[in-house]
Chains A and B, each alone.
Chain A
Amino acid sequence: MGPANTDNYMIAGYVVSFVTMGLYLLSLYIRTRNLKRDLETYEAMDNEKK
């Protein structure tokens, strides 16, 4: 008797791992982009005040 057929569980495990890491990378990218936009806006407002 060979090993149990548990391929679907293995696939699910690796899909979850890569999707989670991918989402985290996406969140880092989006937060950085938004903060850069905020920085530009505040710098422009600061220059107007001067």
Chain B
Amino acid sequence: MQSKPMALTILDVLSIIGIGVATYFALVYAPTEAVMGNVQRVFYFHVGTAWVGLVGFVVAAVSGIVYLVTKDMRWDRFEVAAVEVSTMFFFITIVLGSIWARPAWNTWWTWDPRLTTAAVTELIYIAYFMLRAGIEEPEKRARFGAVYALLGGLSAPITFMVIRLFRTIHPVVVGTASAEAQGGFDMSGDMLTSMFVSLGAFTILFVSLMWHRIRLGGLEEKVEELKLKVSM
């Protein structure tokens, strides 16, 4: 494995600072919401993790297309990294949403269109790893993974758009909410600033984690090649 690049070290430091600053903005700088109280503060991490989660799934789909065209294994590593990091972030999104829903909607979970599509999206990407684990041959695994990531990538825009197209109780931050939406709030300037700080911090962290995961993928490939060479 090559030594860690300086740019990655800088990115790691920026990620730690960024998440620290985003936490400060969410917990201290942003005002307390008038009705829901402090639970509304999970909104900043909820939106930040959802952003990188959904963007990562789209990145994985694009990487899948590029792999299918070029057959370059570097794009497979890129795709796997995007899916893995996004699945982790999207898990946080779903759990935070559920924690917020308990006091806001008086339930941990409801099969609302947004919650359903989010859960399906997460399950699609958990199944992605199960699919890959079941295929031995690297090229075949990459090809199947690319097609799967491409089809799975459709779930990201669907999850994003579903609260804008269907009747749902999930509040809408950007755009017009459904009449049934519950738990929405008027964002003050300080809340908006905190949200953008969170979006920026999670974007930096996402890039940093993806880079680490891509390097891990390179190491996996090297070990796999050497294992094959030794066994022959």
**A positions within 8 Å CB-CB of B:** 2-7, 9-10, 12-14, 16-17, 20-21, 24, 28, 31-32, 35-36, 38-39, 42-43, 45-46, 49
Smallest CB–CB gap between A28 and chain B, Å? 6
Establish whether residues A6 and B103, one from each chain, have CB atoms under 8 Å apart when the complex forms: yes
Verify if B128 is at the interface (C-beta below 8 Å from A). no
Interface of B is mostly: helix
The verdict on A17 contacting B216 (CB below 8 Å), with A3-B32, A6-B39, A9-B103 known, is no
Establish whether residues B219 and A35, one from each chain, have CB atoms under 8 Å apart when the complex forms: yes
Smallest CB–CB gap between A15 and chain B, Å? 10
Known: A9-B102, A10-B39. 20 other contacts (CB 8 A): A2-B37, A3-B35, A4-B36, A6-B38, A6-B103, A7-B37, A9-B99, A10-B38, A13-B46, A13-B96, A14-B23, A28-B209, A28-B212, A32-B219, A35-B219, A35-B223, A36-B219, A39-B223, A42-B223, A46-B226
Verify if B179 is at the interface (C-beta below 8 Å from A). no
Establish whether residues B102 and A49, one from each chain, have CB atoms under 8 Å apart when the complex forms: no
List B contacts of A9 (CB < 8 A).
Answer: 38-39, 42, 99-100, 102-103
Residue on B nearest A35 in the bound complex, by CB: B219
| Distance between Cα atoms of A3 and B222 in the complex (Å) | 56
List A contacts of B32 (CB < 8 A).
Answer: 3
List A contacts of B34 (CB < 8 A).
Answer: 3
Q: Which of A2, A14, A24, A38 contacts B223 (CB 8 A)?
A: A38
| Distance between Cα atoms of A14 and B215 in the complex (Å) | 29
Establish whether residues A45 and B35, one from each chain, have CB atoms under 8 Å apart when the complex forms: no
Q: Which of B23, B37, B88, B226 contacts A5 (CB 8 A)?
A: B37
The verdict on A6 contacting B36 (CB below 8 Å), with A13-B100, A28-B213, A39-B223 known, is yes
Verify if B133 is at the interface (C-beta below 8 Å from A). no
Smallest CB–CB gap between B122 and chain A, Å? 13
List A contacts of B88 (CB < 8 A).
Answer: 20-21, 24
Verify if B95 is at the interface (C-beta below 8 Å from A). yes
